[in-house]
Every structure is written in C-alpha cells, then in structure tokens.
Chain A
Amino acid sequence: MDLLALLLVGFFAAGASMFAGADIGAALRTGAFKGDQQRRTALAGFGTLCLSHEVWIVATAALVNAFYATAEESLFLRAYPWIVLLLLGWLARNAGLWLRGRVNSRVWRWLCDRALIGGARVFAASWGVVLAYASGGAWWAMAANALALPLLLARHGNAYLRLRLHEGPRPLRARPLLLGVLLTLGASGAGFTVALATGLLAALALLTSDEMAQQNRDFPALAATAAAVLTPLLPAAVSIPAHGAAAGVLGPVGTTAVIMLPFLLTAQALTWWIFRHRVRAPMYL
C-alpha cells in the first residue's frame, strides 16, 4: 500500500513538474518577446493550457497532505517562509497572467509583466529551496537549487514555447554542465549516489535537448527538457517516503485516485488535442 501512495504522489508530482513547470518556464521567458502583440501571442501560447496544467500542482499538494501528513508537517515547519514565498510567487504569476489583458494601459501591462515574470522567478527559486529542505540539504544545497530551478524551468519553458508558437523563440543554450553541478549540490542532502545521479541525468537530458534543438526537432527537445525537469524530484522521492504513508487514508483516497485517473487523463488529452495547433495571434489573455 505504501508503494501505491508513492506511485500516486510520484505520478502527479511528475505531471506537475513537466506541465506546470513548462508554464512557469514559459512565464520566465516572456521577457524575450518584445512588443505587445508578440508578448500577448506568447502568453496565448502557454496560457490556453495553463489552467489544465495547474491542477497537477493542486492534486500533488492534496495527495501529499493526505498520504504524508507527518512528513509534510515537519517540512512545512522547517521551510515555512519558503512555502509562503512559493505561494506568493504563484499568486503573482497568475494575477499577472490573467489580469494583463483586462486594462488597456502601458503602466498596467508593465506591472502585470513584473508580477508574471517576477512571480515565476520567486516560485521557481522557492520550489528549489523546498525540494532541498525535503531531501535534508544544507544551506548551500538550498542556494544551489534556488539558482538551478529557475534556469532549468526556463529551458523547459523555452522548448515548450518553441513548440506552441508559430514564431517561437530561439533555442536557449542548455548549459548541462552548470545545471548538472548545481543540481548535484542541491540534491546533496539525499546522499552522494542520489545527488550524483540527479546531476548526471539532468546533464544528459539537457545535452540531448540541445542536440535535438540544433536539429530543429522540437518535440524531442521538449521531451528531453521534461526529463531534465523531473530529476530534482529524485532526492525528495527518496527522502519523503521514509516517513511512511498514513494507513487509514490510503483506502478511500487511493481508490478515488485510481478510479479517477482515466477520466482525468482523458480530460487532459482532450484539452491538448483541442489546442494542438500552433498559436500565431493573441487570445483572451
């Protein structure tokens, strides 16, 4: 039963990292689009699927709260201000994204852009710190992760935008060495082997992504950055389950999750299918 809990949390956390992470990364990259039309087109590029992707974060949080309540409690106590920053960053990113197009004023748009990009940056950095806390890292592990996650997510977001937009951004240099080292340091709390594995896998995935981008193969490039974005979860995945999953809650919630999974995945796939075309013009946002 403990395995089921781990699989479920892992599944939704992976989804959250790949999908919601792409939206955070894309938000980080909006600054690269100059001119209001281009920027609004970029927002439409990732904004249409943003709502569908956010749900993965909520589902992960709810499952961690249900299955690993004790571990969550101890993590939240230690990482308290970083959890608050994480939420504030996410709040700001969402506010900037959804409110930007509602008022036709340059000042308003500037403010919303700052909220959008700044919020995404705060979210990514705080997420890195929280992951380091989760794997029991020292202060320098947290610092390394705080630097690494925004860079990593930005690359993932860039690859995502290259796929979603008719006129996507130029490929971003993957920096596999820098990110590999930073992620290894960030994962150090989980022990030498796990940390090394994290860094190596991330570096490998990023190298692949670079190569695919050079060959103009956008979808494989995105798949590679997606794999890279999953690696920081490894040290946390190793550390959290050591606390054990709450027994009584696994039955009702686990069953619900397993039953709902086909419906949830169908709804997601339907959304991706409907919005499969590349975006070339602004939309509601």
Chain B
Amino acid sequence: MSNDLLLARLQFAFTAAGHYMFVVLTLGLAALLCLMQTRAVLGHPTLRTARMEAVRFWGQIYIINYGLGIVTGLVMELQFGLTWPGLSQTAGEVFGIPLAVEALVAFFLESTLLGLWIFGWDRIAPLAHTAILWGIALTAYASVVFILIANGFLQDPAGVRMQDGVIKLESLTAFAGNPAGLVAVPHIIFGSLLAAGAVMAGLSAAQLRRRHLRAPEEVRLFESSLRWGFTAFCVAVAPVAAFGTLQWDILQPAKFASWQGDTAALAAIQADAVARFGPGDYLPPAGWVRGAALLMLGCWGVMAVAAATALTTVLVKGKAWLYTRKWMHRLLILVAPVPFVAVLGGWIFREVGRQPWIIHELVTTASAASHAGAGDRLFSFVAFSTVFALLVLINWWLIIRHARRHPSAVSLGSRQPAEVSSWIS
C-alpha cells in the first residue's frame, strides 16, 4: 500500500475515531438526561430542585462534550470530499443522500434545540424545556440511523446498481432498509448507553470517595446519579452484546474469516476475488481485524464481570454497598473508560475488516483516494490528527475537572439577571 493511501486512511481513521469518542458519550448522556429531567419535572414537586441540580451538573458535562463534538462532525462531513473524492465520483448520487438528510433533518433540529435547552433554562416552561431535551435525544438517534445507512451502503451495497462506472439508486427502500446498516443501530444505541452509564457511575463514585468533603444534599445527589449510571450500565451490558451477535451473520466473508483466523477460507476468498476482479490483494489485514474484535469482546467481558459482581453485591448486601464500599468505587472508576476502548475496537473491526473495499466489491479504497499532493496530504494529516487528539484530551480534562467540583458551582441554568427591551427596536 502506498504511503499516500496509508496517510489518507490513517487520517480518516484518527478523525473518525476522535469524532466518535465525543458522539458515544453524547448519545448515551442525552438519553440519561432525558429520563432524569422528566423524572424531576413530573415527579414530586419538593424533590424537583434537587433533581434538577443533578440534571444541571451532568448537563454541563454533556455540553462540554457536545460543543467540541460538533466541529469534529463537520470535519467528517467535508472529509469525504477532501480525502475520498472517488467516493463522490462513483457513488455521489447515492452516498450523498443519507448524509444530506442527516444534516437537514437530524442535525439541524438537534443543534437548534440544544441552543434552546442550554440558554433557555429559566425562560422556557419546565415541561417545554424537557420536551426540548427529548427532541435533542430523538434527533441524535435519528442521526445514528442516517449515518449507519450510509455506512451500511459501504459495507454491503443494496438497492443500487453499477451503470457505466457510476452507482445508481434502484430502490430507495432497499437502500435505506439495508440490514448491514440498520442492524447495527440498536448495538450503537446500547453501546452509548453503556458508555454514559459507566461515566456517570464512575464520576459519581469518585465524588463519593470524598463524601466527607460534601454537604448531605450533595452526597444524595451523587448517590442518586450513581444509581442512574449503574442502572444504565447494567441494563445495557447484555443487549449490546445480543445486538452485536446479530451482526455476525451479515459480515463480509473476508471479515468473518479474518476474525476466525481461518487461513484456508481467506485464501479461497482471495482466489475467488482475483477471478472476479483481476489481480490484486482483496484481503483485509487479518491481524488487525481479529485483534480489534478481540479487544472489543475482551472489554465487554471485563464490563460484564464488573456489572455482574456489582449487581450481585447490591442484590445480596443492599444499595448502601454501592455508595460506601471503597472497592466498589474503585471498580466503577476503573470500568468507566472501558466502553470507549470497546467502541474503538468495534469500529476498527467494522471498518478495517471491509478493506480493501471502500464500497464492498464495487470500489476499492485505493481508487477512491484523492490525488492531492503529498505536501497537502501531510499537512492535513498532521493538522487534523494533532487537533483532534488535543480536543479529546481537553474534553476529558475539563469533564473530569468539572465532575470533581461542588454541584452548586455549575454555570448551566444558573440564575441570570433580567434583560431589557427586545432587539426588535
């Protein structure tokens, strides 16, 4: 593989992985916050203020994460044109559809609603404010569906045909209903819930380790948040694997054979491909594919054991053990980053496993790469990789920093002085 192609693939890999590090938390936290705010607004009025304080605390983490995630998203949108112009050339008529619909429908509404949620805290009626948050969560999940339809098309094109070197849409329903895309959606949704739950539980546990420095109502807040995070974690850990297993049946043969380490099957696939497409290397880097799958499954194993241990303890010894036992806190803190490693493994498995194809058995990655000069390519690779890595680091530094403070020190939703006359002057 040429240096140029490697750089292009690495750039896309780093930026996509960086972007997803933000997205996985955004998706899961949006769902959790929805449930928390709904409970606060519809629950007992005397408990509303305390519950909303928790929403504000975790909401600020959500916003820290979201704000940086958006820009990484736009870089992804434009990278298709920058790095993989061949994709637009061959499949532009088809691939652009889900991406455009995602931008117009899901993202447009989501971002607008988020602005309302952040800055309209005391101006919008509580029920409407909660409804806005539900809107944010639903549009976020809609984004997942559209993006996976696009990715599913790359994995296993359906509802299209190749005509004079251009891919044309034959059936919109087949294209959009492609199982290669849609079957992954619940897996992603539960995966994000797992991540958000783990983070909320871990950060709450970190606070509870220093409960002697916190006022009683603050301790109650973190105990409650720990419950929320832990419940989400336990609820999601089995379904994420179940929905993951559903996908084994629809994997590309080369990906499946790489995972199994079946050299005979791989050789047969290569021979078959050479017969159909001419000379070339039609196998993904099997070591990477298998390694990534093992990483993902290994992480899941760790999380399953952690969930089982903690859940059994709670069932046998009672909830108080969740809040007070040091080993429990340490366990939850250590488990918090594991979902993020798992999703990295998952995406590497999914995306490296379909190489050398950018569109399975229709367009190779090499042929879709940009003809930009080496200097340009190196510039964008270094610039984006560095900036994305920096953003991920800053993001987590800010989140952890924020999560260690008093809940009252939250800027989100804090009372603001009244304002003056309308700008329509």
With CB as the reference atom, state the residue of chain B lying closest to A249.
B93
With CB as the reference atom, state the residue of chain B lying closest to A51.
B115
Residue in A59, A164, A281 whose CB lies within 8 Å of B423: A164
How far is the CB of A105 from the nearest CB of chain B, in Å? Answer: 11
With CB as the reference atom, state the residue of chain B lying closest to A74.
B85
* Among listed B36-44, B74-82, B334-342, interface-contacting one: B74-82
Q: Decide yes or no whether B3 CB sits under 8 A from chain A.
A: no
Residues of A within 8 A of B394 (CB): 95, 99
Q: Is the CB–CB distance between B113 and A84 below 8 Å?
A: no
How far is the CB of B14 from the nearest CB of chain A, in Å? Answer: 14
Q: Decide yes or no whether B169 CB sits under 8 A from chain A.
A: yes
How far is the CB of B382 from the nearest CB of chain A, in Å? Answer: 10
Q: Is the CB–CB distance between B78 and A61 below 8 Å?
A: yes
Q: Is the CB–CB distance between A61 and B120 below 8 Å?
A: no
How far is the CB of B385 from the nearest CB of chain A, in Å? Answer: 12
Q: How far is the CA of A165 from the CA of B380 in the complex (A)?
A: 38
Q: How far is the CA of A275 from the CA of B121 in the complex (A)?
A: 11
Q: Decide yes or no whether B372 CB sits under 8 A from chain A.
A: yes
How far is the CB of A253 from the nearest CB of chain B, in Å? Answer: 5
**Given A95-B391, A268-B112, A277-B423: A87 and B78 interface contact (C-beta under 8 Å):** yes
Which A residues lie at the B interface, using CB under 8 A? 47-52, 54-55, 57-59, 61-63, 65-67, 69-70, 72-73, 76-77, 80-81, 83-84, 87-88, 90-91, 94-95, 97-99, 101-103, 163-164, 166, 218-219, 246-249, 252-253, 256-257, 260, 263-264, 267-268, 270-271, 274-281, 283-284
Which B residues lie at the A interface, using CB under 8 A? 63-64, 67-68, 70-75, 77-78, 80-82, 85, 88-89, 92-94, 96-97, 99-105, 107-109, 111-116, 118-120, 123-124, 168-169, 172, 370-373, 376, 379-380, 383-384, 387, 391, 394, 398, 401-402, 411-412, 416-417, 419-425
Which of B103, B391, B394 has the largest number of chain A CB atoms within 10 A? B103
Q: Is the CB–CB distance between A101 and B109 below 8 Å?
A: no
**19 residue pairs A–B, Cβ–Cβ below 8 Å:** A51-B114, A55-B103, A61-B74, A80-B82, A84-B383, A91-B71, A91-B387, A94-B67, A98-B68, A163-B423, A246-B93, A248-B168, A256-B104, A260-B104, A267-B109, A274-B116, A275-B119, A276-B422, A284-B119
Can you name 12 extra interface pairs (CB under 8 A) apart from A51-B112, A99-B398, A284-B412? A51-B115, A57-B74, A58-B107, A59-B104, A62-B96, A77-B85, A94-B68, A246-B93, A274-B116, A275-B120, A277-B421, A283-B119
Q: How far is the CA of A71 from the CA of B92 in the complex (A)?
A: 11
Chain B at the A interface: SS class? helix
Residues of A within 8 A of B103 (CB): 55, 58-59, 61-63
Residues of A within 8 A of B72 (CB): 91
**Given A69-B96, A267-B109: A94 and B71 interface contact (C-beta under 8 Å):** yes
Residues of A within 8 A of B100 (CB): 62-63, 65-66, 249, 253, 256-257
Q: Is the CB–CB distance between B387 and A278 below 8 Å?
A: no
How far is the CB of B159 from the nearest CB of chain A, in Å? Answer: 12
Q: Is the CB–CB distance between A249 and B78 below 8 Å?
A: no
**Given A58-B74, A80-B372: A276 and B112 interface contact (C-beta under 8 Å):** no
Q: Is the CB–CB distance between A72 and B416 below 8 Å?
A: no
Q: How far is the CA of A252 from the CA of B172 in the complex (A)?
A: 8
Q: How far is the CA of A168 from the CA of B114 in the complex (A)?
A: 26
Q: Is the CB–CB distance between B108 and A102 below 8 Å?
A: no
Residue in B75, B89, B113, B416 whose CB lies within 8 Å of A70: B89
Which 4 A/B pairs are nearest by Cβ-Cβ distance? A69-B92, A62-B103, A66-B96, A98-B67
Q: Is the CB–CB distance between B114 and A62 below 8 Å?
A: no
**Given A274-B120, A278-B422, A281-B417: A81 and B96 interface contact (C-beta under 8 Å):** no
Q: Is the CB–CB distance between A102 and B92 below 8 Å?
A: no
How far is the CB of A69 from the nearest CB of chain B, in Å? Answer: 3
Q: Is the CB–CB distance between A267 and B112 below 8 Å?
A: yes
Q: Is the CB–CB distance between A256 and B105 below 8 Å?
A: yes
Q: Is the CB–CB distance between A249 and B116 below 8 Å?
A: no
Residues of A within 8 A of B412 (CB): 284
Q: Is the CB–CB distance between B387 and A218 below 8 Å?
A: no
Q: How far is the CA of A87 from the CA of B416 in the complex (A)?
A: 33
With CB as the reference atom, state the residue of chain A lying closest to B411.
A284
How far is the CB of A5 from the nearest CB of chain B, in Å? Answer: 11
How far is the CB of B144 from the nearest CB of chain A, in Å? Answer: 16
How far is the CB of A93 from the nearest CB of chain B, in Å? Answer: 9
Q: How far is the CA of A99 from the CA of B396 in the complex (A)?
A: 12
